Structures are given as structure tokens and as C-alpha cells.
Amino acid sequence: MTNFFTNLGRALIIATTSFAAITCSQPPVYTPPGPSPTAPARPGASPVTTTPVAGTSATATIRDLAGVRVGTATLTDTYSGVLVVGSVTGLGLGSHGLHIHAVGKCDAPFTSAGPHFNPLGKQHGFENANGPHLGDMPNIDTPAAGTLRFELLLPGVTLKANNPLLDADGAAIVLHSARDDYKTDPSGDSGSRIACGVIVGK
Ligand SMILES: [Cu+2]
Ligand SMILES: [Zn+2]
């Protein structure tokens, strides 16, 4: 009897081991996170209704008024909005408004990119009681020399689902000559458009 259970135990261990070996020999498979338990909503809370498509991403090559490439950005759908990871080089010391504009067209002087991305019909700015535009983003401060890398989140936006950036006329990322004051409609008094990149889906 003792031998039987010992042998049975050994067999189970062997079975478990070979199962583990089979599992480990498979290439890793990305499993998107499933719905997780959430706390009950507070009174007055409204849901952030973004439905990202896992792995959806887009890129933009940012060029100045002379057509010189001054930066890049990668935009990726997340469960909290679109994550914008980018860099700019050679703009010199300055502070610049940065927005997503409604049209994917960057012909200098970049008025072709249209107004700020604003599918909800709001006014401009984080500090505007009637804002913001979904395309509003925080300012970036560029160094006198070298590259500035930035990572920003666009809540309430997706690339191809709810409030999609990649709609029929696309969208562009636009850099301005001056700081955005986060409240003056329609563009934060951020001066002229100095660089622009069409957002292109992958
Ligand atoms: Cu702008
Ligand atoms: Zn705006």
C-alpha cells in the first residue's frame, strides 16, 4: 500500500513536471487583462468610456515649418486613453503648447491641421470650466540643446474606437511657439504653429 501511494505520488509529480515542461516550451502569448472587480461608483461619478483595441498604435513624424524633422511620437491605445510617447530635438530653450488637432494634414503654416480635436464640442483648456478639448495636452519645456522626451496621456480618446483620432480626416500633433495658458478659447493663447506631425495608423 505504501509503495502504491509512493509510486502514485511519483507519477503525479512526473505528470505535473511534464505538463509544466510542455507549458514552458510554448512561446509566451499576450493575454489582454480581463474585466477586474471595481469599487462601486461614487455618487456623481461618470465613467470614462474608452474601449481600446489592444495593440493598436500609430506614429507621427513631427516637422517644422521648413519641413525639417524635429521629432516623433508614438500613440498607443490603453485602458485609460491614448498614451503619447514622443521626443523633440533642436527647438531651443522654450515652452510650447502641444495639442492634437482635428485634421491629419500638415501643410505649413499648419492651419491645414484645423482646430483642436474636440468631438465633445467643449471649449479649450484644463482650467476652463467649459473645457477641455479632448486634444488638449500639457505644455512641454524644451531644453537649449539636446532632446526632450515626453510621455502624456489623452484620456477619453482612442485611436479607432470611441472618440477616435484616426477618423475619416485623421488627426495631427501640433506644437506651438508659446505656452498654453490652459484657459483661453480656442487655443490657449499659445502663439503660432511651429511644428506638426500627421498621426498615421499602423
Ligand atoms: Cu494647437
Ligand atoms: Zn484645445
Domain regions of the chain by residue span? 57-201
Q: Which residues are catalytic?
A: 99, 101, 116, 124, 133, 136, 176, 193
Q: How far away, in angstroms, is 11 Cα from ligand 2 center?
A: 66
**What distance lies between CA 128 and its chain's CA centroid?**
22
Q: How far is the CA of 145 from the centre of ligand 2 (A)?
A: 28
Q: pLDDT tens-digit profile of 58-94?
A: 999 999 999 999 999 999 999 999 999 999 999 999 9
CA 118 to ligand 1 centroid distance, Å: 12
Asked if pLDDT for residue 25 goes beyond 50, the answer is no
Q: Which residue's entry shows cell 505504501?
A: 2
Query: Apex CA 85: angle with CA 82 and CA 88, to 5°?
Result: 135
What pLDDT, in 10s, does the model give residues 138-172? 999 999 999 999 999 999 999 999 999 999 999 99
Residues whose beta carbons lie less than 5 angstroms from ion ligand 1:
99, 174
Residue 163 gets the label, from left (phi > 0), alpha (psi -120 to 50) or beta, of: left
pLDDT at 37 exceeding the cut of 80: no
Q: Tell me the pLDDT band of 52, cut-offs 50, 70 and 90.
A: low
> Which of these CATH numbers, 2.70.70.10, 2.60.40.200, 3.20.20.140, 2.40.50.100, describes 57-201?
2.60.40.200
Res. 17 pLDDT band, cuts 50 70 90: very low
Ligand in nearest proximity to the CA of 114: 1
Task: Tell me the pLDDT of the chain averaged across its residues.
Answer: 84
CA of 50 to the centre of ligand 1 (A): 23
Query: How far is the centre of ligand 1, averaged over its atoms, from the C-alpha of 166 (Å)?
Result: 17
Give the predicted TM-score (pTM) of the model: 0.77
Look at residues 104, 111, 121, 77 and name the one whose alpha carbon lies nearest to residue 173: 104
Confidence category of residue 202, pLDDT binned at 50, 70, 90:
confident
Question: In Å, how far are 7, 9, 20, 25, 154 from 13, measured between CA atoms?
Answer: 10, 6, 10, 18, 50
